[in-house]
Amino acid sequence: MPDSAQIQTEALPLVKPFDAALGAEVSNIDLSRPLSDAQFAVVEQAFLKHHVLVFRQQPLTDEQHLAFASRFGELEGHVNKSTHHKKHDKVQVFSNVKDDGKTTGVHPELGTYVWHTDKSYVATPSLTTVLRSPAIASEGGDTLFTNTHAAYDDLDAQTKQKIEGLKAEHSWKRSREKVGERPATAEEIAAAPPVQHPIARTHPVTGRKCIYVGSHTSHIIGMDYDAGVQLLKDLEVHATQPKYIYRHKWQVDDVLMWDNRSTMHCVTPYDAAKEKRAVHRVVVKGDKPV
């Protein structure tokens, strides 16, 4: 529990939904300080309702970032140890900025350019991801989010019946291969062996179903390989139509959090040789998809 002497006593946060299929901005809140139970309740309900929350002008330290994220559950690390923060193993750093201030010239993780839901390649994928932006690209580098509940709701009855009970294999190894990243190491494969999750996933809190696919999927269990891959592609194309998407244009010191049980996301291209872009990421452990 946070120190009662440090808990905020300001008015409750204000939630302003975006004119999009998902997302809302939360203001009148300071994430650098512990939230009261009442403040946290407002944030939590907004999170479940809007799936993506944006907090502007939040210049957090890594310690404050970790403290805020931990209100939502157990924090977890990542199989890709090369991205771990030097001091905090529960913080991932995706940056193209070198110690001398120059750019590396390349985007740090190609897998973020394609639609995915975080850590679906483990048995208990992430509940939420909390991301902050110490450095942003002046052009490009936006993050797109899609409402996979709305996409599921709009499927025709025949497709819903077809995918009910089907499971897809999600694989860190296959995910790396699909985007042309460095191959998964033997240590990473041992830490994150392939897992199977339902294609039509039920949210454990709201009970809503969503389309649970993305770049970490390999194939559909029990279906002809090529036919299964095509079905996964068709579902992703359906779920990423513009009507389901919110585009986030980053500002310095934004904090974003999203529900990985309700969304997919990806980053838009930017000039990684010219533009400096850095994000710090903390993830909260979720539950086994059903």
Q: Is position 9 within any domain?
A: no
Structural domain total, the chain: 1
pLDDT digits (tens, 9 = 90+) for 59-111: 999 999 999 999 999 998 767 655 545 667 789 888 888 888 888 888 888 88
Stretch 2-10: mean pLDDT, rounded?
54
Q: For residue 279, give the CATH number of its domain.
A: 3.60.130.10
Q: What is the pLDDT of residue 84?
A: 47
Stretch 112-119: mean pLDDT, rounded?
95
Residues carrying an active site annotation: 116, 118, 265, 281
Q: Is position 7 within any domain?
A: no
Q: Is position 230 within any domain?
A: yes
Written in H, E and C, the secondary structure of the chain is: CCCCCCCCCCCCCEEEECCCCCCEEEECCCCCCCCCHHHHHHHHHHHHHHCEEEECCCCCCHHHHHHHHHCCCCEECCCCHHHECCCCCCCEEEECECCCCCECCCCCCHHHHCCECCCCCCCCCEEEEEEEEEECCCCCCCEEEEEHHHHHHCCCHHHHHHHCCCEEEECHHHHHHHHCCCCCCHHHHHHCCCEEEECEEECCCCCCEEECCCCCEEEECCCCHHHHHHHHHHHHHHHCCHHHEEEECCCCCCEEEEECCCEEEEECCCCCCCCCCEEEEEEEECCCCC
Q: Is position 2 within any domain?
A: no
Stretch 16-21: mean pLDDT, rounded?
98
Q: Is position 6 within any domain?
A: no
Q: Is position 5 within any domain?
A: no
Q: Is position 166 within any domain?
A: yes
184: containing domain: 14-285
Q: Is position 186 within any domain?
A: yes
Stretch 222-243: mean pLDDT, rounded?
98
